Amino acid sequence: MTGLPSAPFGDRLAAAFDARGRLCVGIDPHQAFLAEWDLELSAKGAREFGLRVVDAAIGRVGIVKPQVAFFELYGSAGYAALEEVIGTARSAGLLVIADAKRGDIGTSVAAYTESWFMPGSPLESDALTVSAFQGVGSLAESMDLAELTNKGLFVLAATSNPEAAAGQQAVLQGGPRAGMTVARAIIEDVHAFNQEQPPHPFGTVGLVLGATVALGDYGIDTATAVAPAVPVLAPGFGHQGAQVHDVQRLFGALTPGVIVSESRGLLHGAPEGLATRIARRAEEVRASHG
């Protein structure tokens, strides 16, 4: 398969950590931000917003995360804007995590994944967020394709929205993970897949674990290290209340793979100061990890 990244996602994530640290800048062209930045409430405004964020991120961080919904709002024109933002970011050497939260079964989930992973696809990204509501097994084709194409997946496990807690903390009554919470079972399935793959510093498949939730309440083991280390996309820093100096306390043995994701806390304010805000927060994150 031609046009693939030259190294597995886990290797490229490790390189991004080494070169630019762990901060991931969200690209969220919410209408409130477009208005604050004096941009049109349109696909054109979303495109300009996204490109400005990419420009401010280059040389300061290694990872960006476009929120697909805010582009999808504008239909095909919004997707065209998103394609340009993703392409510009990847051409500049940034890792792009497409925050689309896709999830389905069979050929449908395979098609979703191909649209974000296949070389030459207009939406080609480095990683994708996915939902395992139908079971982690429903993502098998996506996980295999991620490994094949040197891309990454982040499976929702313990999210920061309060209404998700009841479902994610529910205890399974049957199957091989009986007695575990839904969140813990997802994590164990992800570990199992990563351990079956060729060795990488970080697994191909990661997790979304909110930085504002008490992971122990979800039955999640943060005391035992696993190999390969699991990438953890951790939203909730900054505006939502989580502090970067608390990463070790919050994630324990999962800390080596934590990606500190922040959007609103960085995007709010004058666009002229965005690069400074990103640089300052990136330094705080680096200092907190030693």
Which listed residue (44, 65, 101, 151) is catalytic?
101
b/e burial code for range 65-76 (CB count within 10 A of at least 16 → b): bbbbebbeebee
The answer, as to whether pTM is greater than 0.95, is yes
Domain residue spans of the chain = 9-285
- pLDDT (0 to 100) of residue 290: 58
Domain spanning 9-285 has what CATH number? Answer: 3.20.20.70
Tell me the pLDDT tens digit for each residue of 249-264. 999 999 999 999 999 9
- pLDDT (0 to 100) of residue 216: 94
Bigger pLDDT: 133 or 28?
Answer: 28
The backbone region for 175, taken as left when phi is positive above 0, alpha when psi lies in -120 to 50, beta otherwise, is left
- pLDDT (0 to 100) of residue 4: 84
- pLDDT (0 to 100) of residue 241: 72
The pLDDT of residue 168 is above 90: yes
The pLDDT of residue 202 is above 90: yes
- The residue whose two tokens read 């999962």 is 254
Phi (first) and psi of residue 207, to 5 degrees: -130, 155
The pLDDT of residue 3 is above 90: no
- pLDDT (0 to 100) of residue 75: 98
Does residue 101 have an active-site annotation?
yes
Q: Is the dihedral of CA 82, 86, 89, 94 positive or negative?
A: positive
Q: What are the CB-based long-range contacts (under 8 Å, 24+) for 165-170?
A: 165/213, 165/217, 165/218, 168/218, 169/217, 169/218, 169/219
- In sequence order, the β-bridge partners of residue 99 are 67
- Pick the range with the lowest mean pLDDT from 188-192, 228-232, 243-247: 243-247
